[in-house]
């Protein structure tokens, strides 16, 4: 078989083939990290060796209570910090070795909303996502404007472009921030507690949108969250962390076990299997009365 | 979406340059000795075709030996202060930051005075002393303004204002005890004044330093736009945060130092001008930096013109004029709330 044939087949076969034949995009291999106040002093926090792999179009949830090492793992993946041991690779390249600009072309990070010092128009804000592609003064060309406009349309925010960031509601702001990340045209999209300031309707909307976008644009999406319910509903893979240790990696159905989750989150829970093979988690008050 | 284009940038700056030219002509005309605009333009024409010696000597002296150098110095000082104000506002993510409010101007003034005391025989040492004073002050104020590893807007401003009054006290102390030394007046260092002429060598230093400083800051203007949304975010969008911050801190301190060693600590220009420019032209730093430089120049030229004329023949220090306009704006911004 000639080379173009193989290539064509790989391209067309991508959608139908099962997971195991997909390209590994993100490879976290025995990555560990330690924080300490000084070079000589004992570490104040350690993330012990963590491994998982993510493919394109996949949503990975990094799940755990506060201070479990979620943010550290996120920083390792973005490449802002280099692992003490092990490696974090995106398409075979170590993320911490990429220069800032290349990194910004491949990895988009969405943090919880940050306050704007001066009111910027939402449209201009989305255009910032084109920054890693521009030359010295980064004047936007027609293509950049087109990409930014499409990004805003993909999150259903065309009507927002003329409004300033300050006027937007929590959900609208989150959409605009997401659109800026889309304008980066990354391979990997990382979201840090994206649902924190959103009400439940906006949370579901955001995650449904992420699922759809990851399918359309072949992103790999990594979401850091402590929302058990949402992770169960939307993630293909769950990485469960506690006290800086990675306890489980697997599908929600495999990771969501009653005793394990109760121990990790230190709360009485019920886990049942939902209709689509996805687990459902119900919180139980300690007296036995159910609250969901 | 209406992103900034090169065309809009050039048109805006061209328009502001014309306004600057108009204010220069106005400032040449007005003063203790009034001169009509038509005469002035005709005379400028005569100079342009090389027939300057046909002009009356006394008149030529007033307009071109006294007023013009002072106006040119005002342009340099106004541009330097405004651009450094706009830069500090982006770096510190604080709309109230300004070299005067942050104490950087007073630090630079103290630096120049100390340099003059230590080595009075080197006239060129004042800008160097001013630069050291400026950079040490901004470093100090930056660390004063940090709380639990975060830059706190209010603490930062208080730190700056307190440093400014502390340095002013030292300046007053030095000026009083060392009276008799060849130091320029106390008003000059504390309030700012354009009446002291500057030697030609210094004029060159100022011009070159100003262009280098503004150029360096302008080369990072796209990065400053992103730094305003936060350092972490800027880094994730491909900004080399540490390099940009270093370049801009050093350049903004240099600009402040040049302005202060030429004209003393003129206040509030760095606060007032970028803020007005932002209201009119938006907050994109690629436009804000050159527009602030031009508007700052216009502001100082006009403020100095007023300082020369309102109570003529007595002159007011130009710093008094800028403080009259700047302090209310500062209070307005403060009341509107810090981010």
> What's the CATH number where B306 sits?
1.10.3470.10
Nearest residue in chain A measured CA to CA from B5: A139
Distance CA A40, CA A113 (A): 36
Question: Could you read off the pLDDT of B111-133 as tens digits, one per residue?
Answer: 988 888 888 777 778 889 999 99
Distance CA A251, CA A240 (A): 11
Contact at CB, A148 and B1, closer than 8 angstroms: yes
A244: buried, middle or exposed (CB in 10 Å: 19+, 13-18, 0-12)? buried
pLDDT above 60 (res B227): yes
Q: What is the pLDDT of residue B246?
A: 92
Q: What is the pLDDT of residue A153?
A: 87
Helix axes B125-144, B153-177, angle to 10 degrees: 140
- What are the structural domains, with CATH classification, of chain A? 23-91+187-292 (3.40.50.300), 116-186 (no CATH)
Mutate to test the interface with B, among A100, A148, A193 (most CBs of B within 10 A): A100
Out of B3, B239, B286, closest to residue A127 by CB: B3
What dihedral do alpha carbons B92, B98, B101, B102 form, nearest 10°? Answer: 40
Contact at CB, A136 and B222, closer than 8 angstroms: yes
Query: In A49-121, where does DSSP find H-type helix?
Result: 70-78, 100-106
Q: What is the pLDDT of residue A5?
A: 45
Nearest residue in chain B measured CA to CA from A165: B229
- Judge whether A148 is closer than 8 Å to chain B, CB to CB: yes
A157 touches A179 (CB < 8 A)? yes
Q: What is the pLDDT of residue A269?
A: 83
A143: distance to nearest CA of chain B, Å? Answer: 13
- Judge whether A111 is closer than 8 Å to chain B, CB to CB: yes
Q: What is the pLDDT of residue B288?
A: 94
A191 touches A221 (CB < 8 A)? yes
Q: What is the pLDDT of residue B219?
A: 93
- Judge whether A98 is closer than 8 Å to chain B, CB to CB: no
B213 touches B258 (CB < 8 A)? yes
Is residue B182 assigned to a domain?
yes
- Give the mean pLDDT of A209-226: 87
When pLDDT is cut at 50, 70 and 90, the band that residue A38 belongs to is: low
Question: Could you read off the pLDDT of A133-185 as tens digits, one per residue?
Answer: 887 677 888 888 889 898 888 888 888 888 888 788 877 888 888 889 989 99
A42: buried, middle or exposed (CB in 10 Å: 19+, 13-18, 0-12)? exposed
pLDDT above 60 (res A21): no
Q: What is the pLDDT of residue B52?
A: 65
DSSP result, B282-334: -S-HHHHHHHHHHHHHHHHHHHHHHHHHTTTTS---HHHHHHHHHHHHHHHHH
Residues from B in contact with A at Cβ < 8 Å? 1-6, 93-95, 219, 221-222, 225-226, 228-230, 232-233, 235-240, 278, 283-284, 286, 339
Contact at CB, A104 and B237, closer than 8 angstroms: yes
- Judge whether A78 is closer than 8 Å to chain B, CB to CB: yes
Among residues B96, B97, B113, B238, the alpha carbon closest in space to that of B171 is found at B113
Out of A104, A114, A140, closest to residue B3 by CB: A140
**Among the ranges A108-122, B174-188, B230-244, which has the highest mean pLDDT value?**
B230-244
- Judge whether A120 is closer than 8 Å to chain B, CB to CB: yes
When pLDDT is cut at 50, 70 and 90, the band that residue B137 belongs to is: very high
Contact at CB, B237 and A184, closer than 8 angstroms: yes
- Judge whether A40 is closer than 8 Å to chain B, CB to CB: no
The total of other beta-carbon atoms located within 10 Å of residue A115's CB is: 10
Complex ipTM: 0.78
Bigger pLDDT: A274 or B156?
B156
User: Which residues of chain A does B95 touch, with a Cβ-Cβ cutoff of 8 Å?
Assistant: 117-118
Distance CA A77, CA A186 (A): 14
Is residue B2 assigned to a domain?
no
Q: For residue B213, what are its two tokens? A: 């400083």
Q: What is the pLDDT of residue A6?
A: 43
Q: What is the pLDDT of residue A115?
A: 61
pLDDT above 50 (res B8): yes
Distance CA A47, CA A230 (A): 24
pLDDT above 90 (res B179): no
Is residue B212 assigned to a domain?
yes
Question: Could you read off the pLDDT of A63-82 as tens digits, one per residue?
Answer: 888 888 888 899 899 988 88
A29: distance to nearest CA of chain B, Å? Answer: 23
A246 touches A51 (CB < 8 A)? yes
pLDDT above 90 (res B320): no
Give the mean pLDDT of chain B: 85
A119 touches A166 (CB < 8 A)? yes
Pairing of strands A245-250, A237-242: antiparallel
Bigger pLDDT: A21 or B53?
B53
DSSP result, B138-183: HHHHHHHTEETTEE-HHHHHHHHHHHHHHHHHHHHHHHHHTBTBS-
Question: Could you read off the pLDDT of B284-308 as tens digits, one per residue?
Answer: 899 999 999 999 999 999 999 888 8
Max Cα–Cα distance, chain B, nearest Å: 69
DSSP A112: S
When pLDDT is cut at 50, 70 and 90, the band that residue B221 belongs to is: very high
Is residue B34 assigned to a domain?
no
Is residue B31 assigned to a domain?
no
Beta bridge partners of A188: A107, A220
User: For chain B, how many structural domains are there in total?
Assistant: 1
Nearest residue in chain A measured CA to CA from B8: A139
Q: For residue B246, what are its two tokens? A: 């270093």
A283: distance to nearest CA of chain B, Å? Answer: 35
pLDDT above 60 (res B185): yes
pLDDT above 90 (res B104): yes
pLDDT above 50 (res A20): no
**Among the ranges B60-64, B107-111, B176-180, which has the highest mean pLDDT value?**
B107-111
Contact at CB, B229 and A114, closer than 8 angstroms: yes
B223 touches A132 (CB < 8 A)? no
pLDDT above 80 (res B41): no
Residue A266 Rama label (left phi>0; alpha psi -120 to 50; beta): left
When pLDDT is cut at 50, 70 and 90, the band that residue B181 belongs to is: low
Is residue B63 assigned to a domain?
no
- Judge whether A105 is closer than 8 Å to chain B, CB to CB: yes
Distance CA A14, CA A6 (A): 12
Beta bridge partners of A192: A224
DSSP result, B76-133: HHHHHHHHHHHHHHHHTT-TT--TTTTTHHHHHHHHHHHHHHH-TT-TTHHHHHHHHH
When pLDDT is cut at 50, 70 and 90, the band that residue B243 belongs to is: very high
% residues pLDDT > 70 (chain A): 87
When pLDDT is cut at 50, 70 and 90, the band that residue A12 belongs to is: very low
- Tokens 């106390």: give the residue: B186
- Judge whether A253 is closer than 8 Å to chain B, CB to CB: no
Query: Which A positions 152-181 lie with beta carbon below 8 A of chain B?
Result: 161
Question: Could you read off the pLDDT of A196-213 as tens digits, one per residue?
Answer: 777 788 788 888 888 888
Mutate to test the interface with A, among B229, B276, B336, B337 (most CBs of A within 10 A): B229
Q: Tell me the C-alpha to C-alpha distance, in Å, between residue B36 and each of B25, B28, B49, B66, B302.
A: 10, 10, 20, 17, 17
Q: Which domain holds residue B248?
A: 73-336
Q: For residue A119, what are its two tokens? A: 């009111």
When pLDDT is cut at 50, 70 and 90, the band that residue B337 belongs to is: low
């Amino acid at each position: 078989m000639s080379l173009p044939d193989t290539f064509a087949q790989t391209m067309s076969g991508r959608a139908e083939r099962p997971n195991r034949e997909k390209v590994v995009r993100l490879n976290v291999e025995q990555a560990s990290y330690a924080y300490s106040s000084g070079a000589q002093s004992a570490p104040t926090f350690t993330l012990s060796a963590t491994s998982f792999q993510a493919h394109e179009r996949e949503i990975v949830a990094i799940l755990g209570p506060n201070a479990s090492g979620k943010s550290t793992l996120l920083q390792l993946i973005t490449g802002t910090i280099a692992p003490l041991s092990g490696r974090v690779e995106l398409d075979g390249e170590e993320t911490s070795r990429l220069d800032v600009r290349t990194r910004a072309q491949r990895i988009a990070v969405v943090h919880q909303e940050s306050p704007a010092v001066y009111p910027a128009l939402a449209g201009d804000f989305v255009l910032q996502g084109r920054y890693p592609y521009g030359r010295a003064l980064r004047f936007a060309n027609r293509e950049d404007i087109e990409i930014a406009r499409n990004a805003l349309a993909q999150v259903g925010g065309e009507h927002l472009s003329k409004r300033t960031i300050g006027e937007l509601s929590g959900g609208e702001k989150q959409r605009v921030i997401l659109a800026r990340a889309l304008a980066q045209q990354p391979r990997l999209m990382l979201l840090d507690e994206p649902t924190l300031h959103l009400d439940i309707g906006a949370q579901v909307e955001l995650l449904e949108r992420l699922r759809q976008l990851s399918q359309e644009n072949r992103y790999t999406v990594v979401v850091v969250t402590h929302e058990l319910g949402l992770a169960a509903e939307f993630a293909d893979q769950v990485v469960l962390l506690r006290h800086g240790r990675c306890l489980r990696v697997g599908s929600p159905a495999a990771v969501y076990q009653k005793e394990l989750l109760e121990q990790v989150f230190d709360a009485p829970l019920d886990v049942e299997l939902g209709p689509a093979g996805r687990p459902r988690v119900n919180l139980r008050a300690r007296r036995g009365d159910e609250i969901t | 979406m209406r992103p900034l284009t090169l065309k809009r940038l050039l048109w805006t700056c061209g328009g502001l340059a014309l306004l600057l030219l108009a204010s220069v002509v106005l400032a040449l005309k007005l003063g203790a000795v009034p001169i009509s605009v038509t005469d002035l333009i005709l005379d400028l024409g005569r100079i342009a075709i090389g027939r300057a010696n046909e002009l009356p000597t006394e008149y030529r002296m007033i307009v071109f030996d006294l007023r013009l150098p002072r106006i040119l110095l005002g342009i340099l000082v106004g541009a330097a202060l405004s651009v450094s104000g706009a830069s500090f506002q982006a770096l510190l993510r604080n709309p109230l930051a300004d070299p005067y409010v942050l104490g950087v101007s007073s630090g630079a003034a103290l630096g120049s005075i100390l340099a003059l005391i230590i080595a009075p025989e080197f006239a060129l040492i004042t800008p160097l002393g001013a630069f050291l004073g400026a950079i040490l002050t901004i470093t100090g104020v930056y660390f004063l303004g940090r709380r639990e590893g975060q830059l706190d807007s209010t603490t930062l401003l208080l730190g700056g204002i307190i440093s400014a009054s502390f340095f002013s006290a030292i300046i007053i102390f030095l000026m009083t005890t060392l009276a008799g030394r060849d130091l320029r007046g106390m008003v000059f260092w504390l309030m700012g004044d354009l009446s002291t002429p500057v030697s030609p060598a210094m004029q060159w230093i100022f011009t070159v330093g100003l262009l280098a400083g503004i150029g360096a800051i302008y080369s990072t203007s796209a990065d400053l736009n992103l730094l305003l949304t936060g350092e972490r975010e800027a880094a994730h969008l491909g900004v080399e945060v540490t390099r940009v911050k270093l370049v801009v801190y050093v350049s903004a301190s240099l600009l402040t130092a040049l302005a202060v060693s030429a004209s003393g600590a003129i206040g509030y220009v760095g606060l007032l001008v970028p803020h007005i420019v932002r209201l009119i032209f938006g907050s994109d730093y690629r436009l804000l930096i050159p527009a602030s430089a031009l508007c700052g120049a216009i502001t100082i030229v006009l403020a100095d013109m007023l300082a020369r004329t309102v109570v003529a023949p007595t002159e007011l220090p130009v710093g008094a004029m800028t403080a009259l306009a700047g302090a209310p704006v500062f209070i307005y911004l403060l009341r509107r709330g810090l981010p």
